[in-house]
Amino acid sequence: MKAKQIQRLMAVAALVVLGVTACAPAVARVQDVIETKDVLRPVSRELKSGLELGGDGDPGIEASMPTAPVGVVAAQAGDVDGLQDRLTQLYREANPSVVFIVVTDGGTGFATSGSSGTGWVYGEDGTIVTNNHVVRAGTYYEVVFPNGDRMEAELIGADPDSDLAVLQVESLPEGVGPLPLGDSAGIEVGQFSIAIGNPFGEQSSMSLGIISGLDRSLPSQRTTTSGSTYSLPAVIQTDAPINPGNSGGPLLNLDGEVIGVNAAIASTSGSSSGVGFSIPVDVVKRVVPSLVEDGEVAYPYMGVSFDGEISLPELELYGISQTRGAYVIGVSPGSPADEAGLVGADPETGRGGDLIVAIDDRAIDDFSDLNGFLVLEAEAGQTIDLTVIRGDKTVVLPLTLGERP
């Protein structure tokens, strides 16, 4: 069965997530925000003969299962088998390229801040993608491949703003190659998502879920001397179970393509609670080549602080007439925005700031739109035209982007 056909089988999503993630003493760190779902559902044997979900199954099972979503009527044995076959094939193909990363201080044991995590083969040259927060816990990196091969890896580059890092081993095991990259444009809420990684140090574990949200953001792990903060846009939200140790591992679609790099979970307990976050593959395509070539990433920079989202009460507070746009709270002296003539709000009243509503005739609905443009499309040194509402006037300001300090 083709991947696109399987995408429609939402009725069986919870029926195939059996025993794919394990619980063991936690060794890895995921980050403050944590991710994912732990809704492993038992499968009634009657399902194989075409029993309707939520029907007259085993009362013990039925009592523990949530009601099926509207429109999910039945799951046939052939559908289950088709999805199961695809998932097992995907695992066989992808898992050899997903590695366990042990981070230490270079001594004989874990550093006090040591950790472990996941990575995946990016290039034929032995480059491996993982998270910045995985590699920053130590200085010595041991990579363990699913076939048992262990290799020392060198840190090529790391970027705290995207939480991505690149390691490199001297050679890849025979038969192991890079995972194919997908495209962020094809990702939709409701599509299946598969995570392969090493939760709690349990190597080569796979979990299944769906894309549960798009256009989320994650804060940068970098502390600036100016007090400025940055955030990563276009982040994927998934309910595929992700736990400490999954960090840096691939989030895959049913075609086996990498659509994200698992980075964080939202949790009050430190383990999966159904909300996980994955760095989108388009960020990987933009950041990783720079890390491989230069060891660092140059982001475009305006030098502006914004209100992330304008609420209705803030319309009166700011003295503006619409909620769509990115409202300028402050402008850094000597920054590209300052030189372009952007005006920040009065720090006493909050009023008088410019409202950016378009960049190069492209509508900007909020700060997320603007940030997505800067991180995913713009380049330092590029000149852009900002359409700004200033009081009762609309003005266009050319601005030459600098490089993020």
What residues are labeled active site?
Answer: 133, 163, 247
Sign of torsion, CA 212 17 93 77? negative
**pLDDT recorded at residue 303:** 95
* Helices 281-294 and 367-376, axial angle in degrees (round to 10): 40
Mean pLDDT of the chain, nearest integer: 82
**Lowest-pLDDT range, 150-154, 269-273, 308-312?**
269-273
Q: Render pLDDT for 321-344 as a digit per residue (tens, 0 to 9).
A: 999 999 999 999 999 999 999 999
Give phi and psi for 339, each to the nearest 5.
-65, -30
Contact call for residues 213 and 289 (beta carbons, < 8 A):
no
pTM for this model (two decimals): 0.78
Domains of the chain from N-terminus onward:
3-96+178-293 (2.40.10.10), 300-403 (2.30.42.10)
Mean pLDDT of the region 98-102? 97
pLDDT digits (tens, 9 = 90+) for 101-149: 999 987 655 444 568 999 999 999 999 999 999 999 899 999 999 999 9
The helix or strand, by DSSP H or E, that contains position 62, with its residue range, turns out to be helix 59-64
